[in-house]
Chain A
Amino acid sequence: MSPSGLAERVPAIAVKGAVKRYGHVQALRGASLEVYPGEIVALYGDNGAGKSTLMKVMLGVVPPDSGSISIAGREVDMTSIRESQDRGVDAVHQDLALPPDLTVLESMFLGHEVMRTGLLGRLGVLDRTAMADASREALERLGIRLTTVRIPVKSLSGGQRQAVAVARAVMWTSTALLMDEPTAALGARQSDIVCDTIVSTAARGLGVLVISHDLPRTLAIAHRVVVLVRGAVAFDGPAHGLSVPEIVEIMVGHLRDSMGGSSNGGS
């Protein structure tokens, strides 16, 4: 299952030596990781290990104190969300990044709007029909059927919102897809569909990074596992042959060794 010859290939997205401090809390202490095209990397770690911060750094949402990010081999401006988006990187955030008052179709196309053709388009007029059709299709691929995509996001259930966020990210990504707890609000069946989506996204040749507390489900589809402990990479190796207890041991074992059993720290 694991793509062969990863070493010669250029990572879809790579972060090197990311350091981020929030006041006295050091969220990241020189974390590095790569996600290769076609590869699913599972990023694990205890609460406060720095997983979400690392992902936000990779997206340009949170500027790091030091470190570098490259997308498809080219270094990017780490303060520009737009640049990483233009280079085909998109994400599902844990705190769902959908404006609640916008309709489903509007939030799926926010920042990527389809305009009407001709003069109306030049005047900035949106083509809501085209966006509605494409949104409906993208949601159906995730097994979500809404009779209308013209209802506000806030009138959806938590699971539906999550599905919209996943569908949005999948729709706009062409290089790397980063997902922070994409199955958190979902039931078993929806979680499976999201995992299938992750597999098919990677099969299209994209790199996928998944942060999840659902170890069994994500370990089953991951090619590689990276474990973050207190802002640094404690493990980076093939997923094949790893078991959930072993990963948990790495996640908490290091904490036990270095901190006497309790965890604290950054986001």
Chain B
Amino acid sequence: MIGTYSQEERERIEALASAYVLGVLDENESDFAEFEALLEAGDPLLAELLEAGFDTTIALAELAPQVNAPAHIKEALLSKISSLEMSTDRMVRYDQNKAPLPSSTVRLLRKKNRTIISISLLGGLLVCVLLAFLVIKSDKLERYSGLTKVLMRQSDSLKLSNKEFAINDSLVRCVLNMLQEENARLVTMTTTSQSKHQHVFFSPKQKMVVVMRENLQPIDSNHVYEIWAVVGNTPKPIGSFVVDPHDKEPMYTFSTDLASAEAFGISIEEKGATPSPKSEMIYIGEVPHFGKN
């Protein structure tokens, strides 16, 4: 039994194969295109039916009342081949337009079938490995998913060209590496109204915090943005930054010695002042906990 076909599909392919081997499948008919598509796709049932069909048509050929060919045909044939110059390529060249070799079609289909089966098996194996990986690393999947969305939004919001984004490739790779770590976190921060989002990547292992630019707009020159980590309900300053309207820096990186944090936030502070939250956080978000982490 080859593959899984519905009764309708099987009958359809049987009809096409029968028509083809009987020589009644006209190129101008719609069935011909369907047949060619199946042939091109290396349909295994079609291959099986064609092979059987060609053998069956021999029986039909033998139904004709038997008569000998006139003797002069053989004489003419032998005379013609003796006059033919031995062609060096006649043993290696094959003109398919002149003499379609039905069995070669079958062979082609079989070859394709083997290829398709091999690819299918390999593909199936890869899918299994991927699924196993995803089950084991489902928490990372969540992080990757979030990262992808953030990076895409980041690119869009800044209208970064591929080239511009590529310039930040090393930083992007750095973020991706962070997500390989068990304790790295992607933190989604929101405004009080939750109408806007900002993202922060936190890596205790690399001792790094990365703030995505996203919705942060340039502010007056007397103020800066401050990124905070909340540890034990106490905000701890991570670093300050300004958003340059002429710069398309997609993210801002900061060093930190923090091993963990409960939340991250962003505030606007006076430039040059000692970091302390003098105003409320414009963005705040809890650090998520994935799986066992």
Asked whether A and B interact, the reply is: no
Residues of B at the A interface (CB closer than 8 Å) are: none
Residues of A at the B interface (CB closer than 8 Å) are: none
